[in-house]
Each structure stands twice: as structure tokens, then as C-alpha cells.
Amino acid sequence: MSTSRQLFTIPLRPIVGDRFQPTGFPNLGAAVYDRPVLDGGWERCLLVESEQSMANRLEATMWDSPARRPIELIARLPHVRVVDEDGEFLTSSRLEAHRVASAYIREGTVGDTTGVEVINERLGLDDDRQRAPYEIADGLFSLDPMVLIHGVFLSHKDFPGQPKVARAITAFIEAHDVREVHGGGVKKDSVLTGQTEDRGSTEGYGMVPFDRLEWTAREIVLNADIDLQQLRSYGLAEPEIDLLADLARLELRYLIEGGLRLRTACDLALATDRVVDHSGEELPSADALEDRVRRAIDGLAEVAGSITVTWGKKGKKGKKG
């Protein structure tokens, strides 16, 4: 890995028709903005999917939801699994917004030890000083290597120094030169076509018309940035760095090949036969990346086991014993 970044601008298209529905934000709706274009003018653009949402979608490609575990390819890599007092699965470091810093992990227990104590010991956290990402990278790799791809902020006061690791992969989807499509519909009621004082739309009765706003665009693009320099800065062994980079590439490949059905009215697909980065290098196929990841995991000198944390019911801090 000789470059500091691997950047992608991947063209997409609606899988049916031309209209699509972007993400919406509270008290804002769709995020519309202007960007400069080459002729010196400006064009109206739209944020179709945010960095935060795309991070969740990328992570989800490596998780087997029905089985409630990582996909088979990376099943041997460690992660933190959270169960209730009856041993029933609740969540994991692959699902939680704060990953290993999750409250369910922090306040849970591993035998007679609290989750926060396990993390602080693995990362070498104490009150003497703050720890830089390279100082905790080995510990994070032993807890869940995917954290080094998607980042973590150990912001709670129980984590001395409150260290932070930024995302090493960032992605978002934009639409350029957009136009509004105003439409609508009606919620039908085959029993009560009208509304009465005590049986109105609030209660779910009656015929309720509604408006709908969709969009068209000259182009839709998925932008992705894999920060290879950040991965190198962890100071891990080269095979581990290569593994992290290939896992990030594989997440991206899985996402664009598996379909981008972001919402009911936003189903996108690749609009190109080849996915290349800004240097012209092609993103390897899923098969090629899977083979590289499998061989890299086989070649790891040591793979730490996953941790199971027990989290108690409301008002408890987990189960001792």
C-alpha cells in the first residue's frame, strides 16, 4: 500500500425509472445544497445517503442477521457478544453505534469482571495519560478488528483518557443537478370513507390524501474514501494492516453488488461495468477479496477469542458470578 487514500466515485442509477427518495433529517427534510461546476456556475445537489447511514450499511455486509453472528468468512475474528442473564443474544460490538464503547458492553460482566474493566485492561487505559490510536490498536484488534475500520470513541468517564479512533472508511451518496418531482396519494378506507368526531385520521380511519416529494438527477454517485495512511498509522504488523484494508474494500464490494435498496422509493444499482478508484485501479471482485481475507486470517500468528458479556435487566449492572 503506497498511497495514502483509495478514493472512489461510483456512478449509480435508480433500478426502475428515474425517480428516487433521498434520506430525510428531522426539522430539515432532504439536504439540498449547491456546488460549483466547471463553467463557473452552480448546480443544485442532494445528499441521498449520509456518512453515518453508509457506515451502518457497510458494517451490515459483514453480519449475518438471521443467525445473529458475523458472516462465516470472518467468524474467526474476535468481537464482543452481549447476552442477557438467560444467555439470549442481545447485541454485539458489530451492531452497536459505539461498538466496544457500548453501554451494554461497558455495564455488562464477564464472569466476575465488568466489561469496562476488560476493555481498560486490554487497551492499557489508566489515569496517567491519554492514549493515541497506535497505542491501543493492538488491544482493539484483540477485541474486534472491525473497530479499527469503523472507529470508536471511548467517551464515557469510566474510560481513562477517553481515546478516540476515527473511521478509516467513509462513504456517502450524492445526486447532482437535481429536480423535484411532486406527487401524492391517498390512504384508502374501504369501510369508512368519511370521518366522524371520534373516528378520524388520528385514529387511522377515513380517506386521507397526502403529498409526496421525490427527485430526479443528472447523476447519482457513491463516494468512498479508504484511509490507508490511517491503517498504517496503527503500527500493526503488515499482514494485519493489509487484512483491514481488504475488509474495507470487501464491505464496499458487498454493498454495491448486494443492491442499494436504501428505502422503498430509493432502490439503486451500479451504472458502470467496472468500479475503479481515482488512480484507475479496479476494485477487486468479491471472490478475489474473500480469498485474500481468508488467507490473511489463516496467516495471523494469533487470533484472540471473542468475548461474551452478560448484561442485566433495567436497574442492574449485569450478573455477577
Look at residue 164 and tell me if it is in a domain: yes
Task: Give the confidence band of 314 by pLDDT, cuts at 50, 70, 90.
Answer: low
Closest CA to 105 of 121, 126, 139, 82: 82
Nearest CA to 270 among 282, 257, 279? 257
Q: Is residue 249 a part of any domain in this protein?
A: no
Whether 184 and 151 have beta carbons less than 8 Å apart is answered as no
Does residue 27 lie in a domain region? Answer: yes
| DSSP 3-state of 217 | strand
In a domain, 321, yes or no: no
User: What is d(CA 320, CA 122) in angstroms, rounded to the nearest whole number?
Assistant: 20
Residue 90 domain boundaries: 5-238+263-284+301-310
Residue at 255 is within a domain:
no
Given CA atoms 88, 90, 93, 95 in this order, what sign does their dihedral have? positive
In this prediction, residues 12-25 reach a mean pLDDT of 94
What grid cell was written down for 305? 477469542
Is there a domain that residue 35 lies in?
yes
Higher-scoring residue by pLDDT: 257, 199: 257
Band the pLDDT of 1: cuts 50, 70, 90.
Answer: very low
- Domains in the chain, number: 1
| 182 domain residue, yes or no | yes
Determine, yes or no, domain membership for 248.
Answer: no
Reported as a pLDDT band with limits 50, 70 and 90, residue 315 is very low
**Cβ–Cβ under 8 Å, residues 222 and 173:** yes
State the cell numbers at 43: 448546480
Contact 251, 58 (CB under 8 A): yes
Condensed to tens digits (0 to 9), the pLDDT of residues 224-258 reads 999 999 999 999 999 999 999 999 999 999 999 98
- In the predicted model, what is the mean pLDDT of the chain? 92
Of 28 and 179, more confident: 179
φ and ψ at 186, to 5 degrees?
-145, 140
Grid coordinates belonging to 60: 451490515
